[in-house]
Chain A
Amino acid sequence: MRFIPVSCEQRETMLHVVGARTVDDLFEVIPEDVRLSRPLALPRGMSEIELADELEGLAASNTSGLVSFLGGGCYDHYIPAIVDSMVSKPEFFTAYTPYQPEISQGTLQAIYEYQSMVCALTGMDVANASMYDGATAFVEAALMAARVTKRDKVVVSAAVHPEWREVLTTYAESGMIEVVTCPVADGRTDMVALEELAADAAAVLVTSPAFLGGIEDVAAIAGLAHAAGALLVVGTNPILLGVMEAPGNLGADIVVGEGQPLGSAMSFGGPGLGLFACRQQFIRQMPGRLAGRTTDVDGRPGFVLTMQTREQHIRREKATSNICSNHALNALAAGVYLASVGSVGLAGIARACVAKAHYLHDALIKTGRFTTVNDVPFAHEFALRYDGDVSAMQHTLLERGYLAGLDLHRFSDDYNNVVLFAVTEKRTRAQMDRFLEEVASL
């Protein structure tokens, strides 16, 4: 396949105008010793028909159609049909960052509306649409807290997703911030340890629910953080905010989260969407693009990218972040998703997730094969200890068509025999009952 609409004859015309005999003449500006003198060692090109066949083959060699209880930061929620239909409009997906607002009002208004929805969900004043995923939004929040407080120690709860903590540690390696980990007690942040560690901290970083599903006492953590002069960063799950109190109402200063559940496919873990929202007073220290409403020279309302002096293309090494993405297409999906469910639908979906998770949780314990790890309140994800070989159990259930949760041993030896189950609104009672029968038969 080729996507070049210039004919051979036109190419000759163009060469003539340029004053070159062949196209290769134009590459003579490249020193000869670094010019590639052989073809690239890549397979030959192919027609769309052949390509479609190959891609279908690759996709088909992924097992699909499994009944999944896998979560751990990526969730199998229903995506309304309208979402992909809107996201597939080429005026949106073939556009770039809205640098020219006069012809980018669609992207800009969609982002403004998305920002408004994220503020409504999180209880915050301002939100951006820029972050890559929950993990990197979490890190940006830590860096921002360091700028706001002019301190460099951040305290992260060990109850946070291990991959989020790993990304934070990777970034911190450069010495910009020092990461201190607060231990867990019963699957949640250890409040006694936190009180001591929070002294002189720029930020206290938690997620609620925590990685193992437990819901944190965010208000109490906020009290400890603020008493120490630290900001509170709370990672959240946006679907659950349909029924869970907004972190902003519990004292959070920056709220982040993985926005994939809002209308983005799991897609093997990416692209996700980093939710990022904060209080108005910190706006000048925010990373990322912001869309704002204003008027044009004729007085019509319109939207622009704003507060740009924070950013790398103007402030260069003094920028609030190097980020220049504007995660607009996933933000668009999230906006369409939230508009399509509304607060009533979102609450209903979140309630279904919670009710089904509690149903499965109680029933799994009744099978006699699982026991409680932490007796703490949870929403749609929970950890249980299995009384046998987790890997063998999962393998057997996979053969019967189930993704039987996440074996947490992959993250730490502390989690031997611990399995994390996530239940979304897509799981039916019938699926769960059959799954429970399989578990009981092991």
Chain B
Amino acid sequence: MGYLIEHPDRVFELTKQHVELVAISVAFAMLIGIPVGVLITRLRWLEGPIIGTAGILYTVPSLALFAIMIPYTGLGRTTVVVALALYSLLAIVRNTVAGIDGVPPAALDAARGMGMTGRQRLFIIELPLALPVILAGVRIATVAAIGIATVAAVVGVGGLGRLIFDGMRTLNTDRILAGAIVSSLLALLADWGLAWLGGYLRRDIALARLER
């Protein structure tokens, strides 16, 4: 714990970088993953190929993925963000599909029968009801990305992995611990925060949409 107390500014700076990396990556993954998940529920034959590809990507070791990508995306943020986003896709796509599949068919039938358009059904019924499941996917993706992002330090983008790699090089356990503890705390915080958000949002989003 010594390092944490002696260099709070440095730890804070690296934590900020870490959060930024993860946030940007997961945001990209959501931007792509949720629409792709919705698309799968409309065009079912896409499910096998897309989930399969995302699954294979997920099994590639992170260090190897960084190494593979460096020739194309360079030593830097782009590589890390693309890699983390790719890892996050699987959980987000899969949970989006599962969430929409879990919407009660009777509610959807009633929505159609009452004259909601396809878009209204998606935004008022399907996505709000699927939201807790989608957010569960985002949580899984975020928690995993916070861990994987520590490896990103090898590409030279900072983050809490910096402390761990520096600690390994200088045999400074204090630094390794500081990096590990803060990154674990981050993961817990993200997990808890996203869970809270899920319960809070869904009705308000749906009602706001209904009046448009």
Do A and B make up one complex? no
